[in-house]
Chains A and B, each alone.
Chain A
Amino acid sequence: MMGGYVEGIIAILCINLMFAYGVYLTAASGQLNLGGAGFQAIGAYVAGVCSNSLGFPIFFSVLGGVLGAGLIGFLISFPVLRTRGVYMVLATFAFALVVSGVILNTDFLGGATGMVVTAYTPVEVLILATLLTILLVFWLMASRIGLVMRAVHDDDVVSEIMGVNVRGVQVFAFTLGGALAGLSGALYAHHYSFIEAQYFSALLSIFVLLFVLIGGTQTAWGPLFGASFFTLVPEVLRLGDTEWRYVIFGILIVLMMIFRPEGIITRTLVHRVIMVFNRSGGH
């Protein structure tokens, strides 16, 4: 059996990975979503209500959270996609604040005191869901859907001339991205058995976007690296000088942004690694 500390880290790593892939899908198609925590909160609360009030089995409660967050992602994409650049960042950010505000003011959801979710999901389920999420996103990015998303990221006008339904691609990314963030929230609710609006904060939205941007948006490896790095490195630094660990961590982030402005994992890097791998394997 895993120790409690290691299990705790694996659980949060799984939640962060699924969450990061949710935000990654929109970023990969060129839209920055700074409202990740809003989608995660919707997934958590919908799943919590399904579980507590409707008495759904855990699987269907989690599915409810996924569909709920996906539906909101779909609906919110239409007004959000009318904005561009920094205004889109602000629009998604505002969306997350609205979600948080609604939860805080709804007594049925426990308001500021939070909600206890009685059904419990062990860490193994989180690991399985995370592996499936990673597989899904890697497969998407290996297909023409991923190709089209990356093309829209690079040049939406030319993509449209190539026959791509650019708006459709962007709506798809928001919908599936919302669903994956919702999945992370729904499993969070069932693993930790307690959710509160304060957890799904602006800082969380910022962190998950940082996972994605620093990991790199060009390949599905980016969020895997980014979320793992941000989750594990503070723990590794804990082994050394505790007082300075966040200073060291902050310096690491700044250095990564200076030396790898397109993210740590780029398409070129992946291609070079594959070439080296093929060369050494071929002889």
Chain B
Amino acid sequence: MSDPILQISNVSKSFGGLKVLEDVSFNLTPGQRFGLIGPNGAGKTTVFNLLSGVYAVDRGSVVLAGKDITNLPIRERIGLGLSRSFQNIRLMPHLSVIENVLMGQHCQSSQITEMLKPINWMKNNKWKQRAMETLENAGLKVDPGSTVGELPYGVRKKIEVVRALMSKPSVLMLDEPAAGLNARETSELADFLHEISTRNVTLLLVEHDMNFIHALCERVAVLNFGSKIFEGTPKEVNRDKAVLEAYLGTSTLEASDAA
């Protein structure tokens, strides 16, 4: 096995007296498709927020490609290869489709000479061409000049994935990418993500749709009340007693002995 690209070690986070994550650890190997699942409120999105730096880690460490990024400023993380999408679409509502995608390239184009180029007045700008290509590869047939606030949900969801891809991430974190999509859109998304992962992009997915997880992920970790209760293959997860109890309830009061 190759060295892990992302190592999350003993990470804990509390908000006031509320423990949201307790001693969570897992590793991602390069090119892996890793699913993070668990009931609502288990702390999945908090893991994303800690990894992207939106929240500070209380204890534990995050190592990306051998570099400790636990306390790295938010804006320096994307340049190291960590990119993400959001559970509730967080595109810039007043920017057009292509402008949102261009924002995803910011970390590669923030030199002053690039920043000063009037790209709106240029017909053939390499950044714009690259953005258009990525939109086409993702099968998005939308007017690149239309304002995203006016587009349907499924389209916006996909644009967010494209934006996250523009920084050429080594680790792509997607927070419920299939939520709100119909069956056909979900299977298209799974194919698209599968193809991305063959280009050595490591995927970390938070998802509720278990069919989607089965179709895509090689490995899953299950969170419940802020603790990791299981890690293994998607097949094993269906048989795990603690996981079943976390989702479906239990006849005993304590399910933690299984963890």
Co-assembled chains A and B? yes
A interface residues, Cβ below 8 angstroms from B: 139, 141-145, 147-148, 150-151, 153-155, 157-166, 218, 262, 266-268, 271, 274-275
- Whether the Cβ atoms of A164 and B75 lie closer than 8 Å is yes
Q: List chain A residues, Cβ under 8 A from B102.
A: 144, 147
Given the interface pairs A142-B121, A159-B103, A164-B106, the reply to whether A154 lies near B95 with Cβ below 8 Å is yes
Given the interface pairs A144-B114, A145-B115, A271-B147, the reply to whether A163 lies near B79 with Cβ below 8 Å is yes
Other A-B pairs beyond A144-B106, A157-B90, 12, CB < 8 Å: A141-B120, A142-B119, A143-B116, A143-B118, A144-B115, A147-B103, A154-B93, A154-B94, A155-B92, A164-B110, A271-B146, A271-B147
CB<8 Å pairs between A and B, sample of 19:
A139-B118, A142-B119, A144-B110, A147-B119, A153-B94, A154-B94, A155-B90, A158-B86, A159-B103, A160-B74, A161-B75, A161-B84, A163-B76, A166-B75, A266-B94, A267-B95, A268-B146, A271-B96, A271-B147
Question: How far, in Å, is A218 (CB) from chain B's closest CB?
Answer: 5
Q: Does B109 contact A (CB under 8 A)?
A: yes
Most B Cβ at <10 Å: residue of A147, A164, A262, A271: A147
Query: Across the two chains, which residue of chain B brings its CB closest to A271?
Result: B145
Query: Across the two chains, which residue of chain A brings its CB closest to B86?
Result: A158
Question: How far, in Å, is B223 (CB) from chain A's closest CB?
Answer: 22
Query: Across the two chains, which residue of chain B brings its CB closest to A270?
Result: B145
**Which listed residue, B54, B93, B110, B114, touches A163 by the CB 8 Å rule?**
B110
Interface residues on B, range: 35 or more
A166 to B92, CA, bound (A): 14
Question: How far, in Å, is B175 (CB) from chain A's closest CB?
Answer: 12
A151 to B115, CA, bound (A): 14
Q: Does B32 contact A (CB under 8 A)?
A: no
Question: How far, in Å, is B130 (CB) from chain A's closest CB?
Answer: 14
Query: Across the two chains, which residue of chain A brings its CB closest to B93?
Result: A154
**Which listed residue, A141, A151, A266, touches B92 by the CB 8 Å rule?**
A151
- Whether the Cβ atoms of A161 and B52 lie closer than 8 Å is yes
